[in-house]
Amino acid sequence: MNPTAYRGRFAPSPTGALHFGSLLTAVASYLEARTQQGLWLVRMEDLDPPREIKGAAREILKTLEQFGFEWDGDVIYQSQQDSAYQDALQQLKNKQLTFACNCSRKHLNNTASRSSEGIIYPGTCRHKIDIPPPYTTRIIAPDQTFHFIDQLQGPQKQNLHHSLGDFIIRRRDQLFAYQLAVVVDDHLQSITHIVRGSDLLSSTARQIFLQTMLSYQTPEYTHLPVLTNAEGNKLSKQSHAQALDLTHANLHLYRCLTLLVQSPPTELTNASLHELWQWAFTHWQIKHVPAVAAIDLSQDTNNTIYY
Ligand code: GLU
């Protein structure tokens, strides 16, 4: 591969401050991009105003800067991308892959069968015509198994029809769904490599399907372990993950490198951020990251500062 062709990204949602779990993802995707002589882009996934916390986007960027991350180009905001999503939706409509659905969540909860992904949409509205707004827009899920190789988690496969059925690409409130937006933006930003948390592994087949239908390239995927608390919940705002305390920025970076099994030497425990980044740029090896879905942070003796 031409090393300059690597384009990675970090795509936080501004639903709260940057916490240790998202820092770990940022660190791994940044180090992988930089050690491949690649570019690293930041995209703010402010797609869902009702879930957004005012000021969080600015805070996240400030925190990234204070940690010493340097991104390439301007930050893209999903809230500014509506016409691109609209175009993609139109392309899918033109191919007769979409339909309007006015099934209520309650109706589906009561009638549809389930898989580990949740409700399997039973196709109720697929052949209905003239459904008046408001409605969700779904895409017809093919009865086909998608195979891909995750660079860390290994071979994966999923049949969309059997595991979730026709899925939503535009919500009833007219907001575009994450699955469509992320595919359009990864394409527009010419992303070649996606390094993100394993909680999104089960979204990947949907994204590959959409890329195929929109004639986009499929990037390489690497799904990192997510950090969990003692109850097995992913560190997140909902699980009370704390905002990162910047007075300990170097310690946080050191601990990320340790959890990613890069084995930084103990004498670097109190090293400056700059020294730690220099060490990491030289020693980063994605193959040392454990190929597991989750790392239980409650087993870690210093965990109280994270949640
Ligand atoms: N915005 C998503 C999140 O914060 C990440 C999406 C992605 O990396 O594809 O969890």
Bond from prior residue into 12 cis (ω within 30 degrees of 0):
no
Cβ–ligand 1 distance for 48 under 6 Å, the answer no
Higher pLDDT, 127 or 304: 127
Give the pLDDT of residue 307: 56
pLDDT digits (tens, 9 = 90+) for 65-101: 999 999 999 999 999 999 999 999 999 999 999 999 9
Q: Is the pTM of this model over 0.85?
A: yes
Please, what are the domains in the chain? 7-80+225-299 (3.40.50.620), 82-179 (3.40.50.620)
Would you say the CB of residue 45 lies under 6 angstroms from ligand 1? Answer: yes
Q: How far is the CA of 81 from the centre of ligand 1 (A)?
A: 16
CA separation for the pair 103, 202 (Å, rounded)? 24
CB proximity list for 197: less than 8 A, separation 6 or greater: 21, 25, 223, 224, 225, 226, 234
Q: Which atom of ligand 1 is nearest to the CA of 12?
A: 4
Ligand 1 centroid vs 53 CA: distance in angstroms?
16
pLDDT classification of 3: cutoffs 50, 70, 90:
very low
Going from the Cα of 226 to the center of ligand 1, the distance in angstroms, rounded, reads 12
- Nearest CA among 234, 236, 230, 279 for reference residue 254: 279
The pLDDT score that the predictor gives to residue 210 is: 98
Q: Is the minimum distance from the CB of 182 to ligand 1 under 6 angstroms? A: yes
Site to substitute for ligand 1 among 182, 185, 207, most atoms within 8 A of C-beta: 182
